[in-house]
Amino acid sequence: MNKTELAPQHSQWLNLHDSIEKYEQWALIIKLTALITCVMTFIFNLAAIFTVVFIALFWLQEAIWKTYQARLIKAITDLESQLNTSNELLISPLYSQWQANRGGTLALIAEYLESSLKPTVMLPYLPLIIISLFA
């Protein structure tokens, strides 16, 4: 069964899911651009304030993208709820299950801190901070 053969709600779910994944890809591109920009400010011997401002701007841009992504996640969980109510859910309620398993504020902060220590997350930011402090 391809996308065109799916019910409109299922096609909408797939489109929302694809969009959410694309926002995640763009967040990675923003991180890589921040890294490249940081390196370039050091190569051209620009003042540290430029590096900090550039990193802050990229951080803000990623926050904007993540806000858009969060709105799409809200839309997809609402759609999953509608499909579940109408007994038409043929797709796993991925986002609804994720929301249901999400902890409270302190648990979420602890989870974020734990995630921030993973090498794939820490890699772009920790070296940029260290370089900025010692350059």
| 86 HSE (CA, 13 A, CB side) | 12
- The mean pLDDT value for 77-104 works out to 73
Q: Which residue has the higher pLDDT, 103 or 25?
A: 25
Whether the per-residue pLDDT at 5 is higher than 80: the answer is no
Q: Please give the model's pTM, rounded to 2 decimal places.
A: 0.64
Q: Where are the domains of the chain?
A: 8-134
Token pair belonging to 76: 């997809």
pLDDT tens readout for residues 104-132: 888 878 877 787 777 766 777 777 777 77
- pLDDT for 135 equals 67
Residue pLDDT, tens place only, 17-39? 999 999 999 989 998 998 898 88
Distance CA 28, CA 34 (A): 10
**Residue type at 11?**
S
Q: How far apart are CA 92 and CA 13, in angstroms?
A: 11
Please list, in sequence order, all residues whose beta carbon lies within 8 angstroms of the beta carbon of residue 52, skipping any fewer than 6 positions away. 132
Q: Mean pLDDT highest for which of 11-15, 25-29, 54-58?
A: 25-29
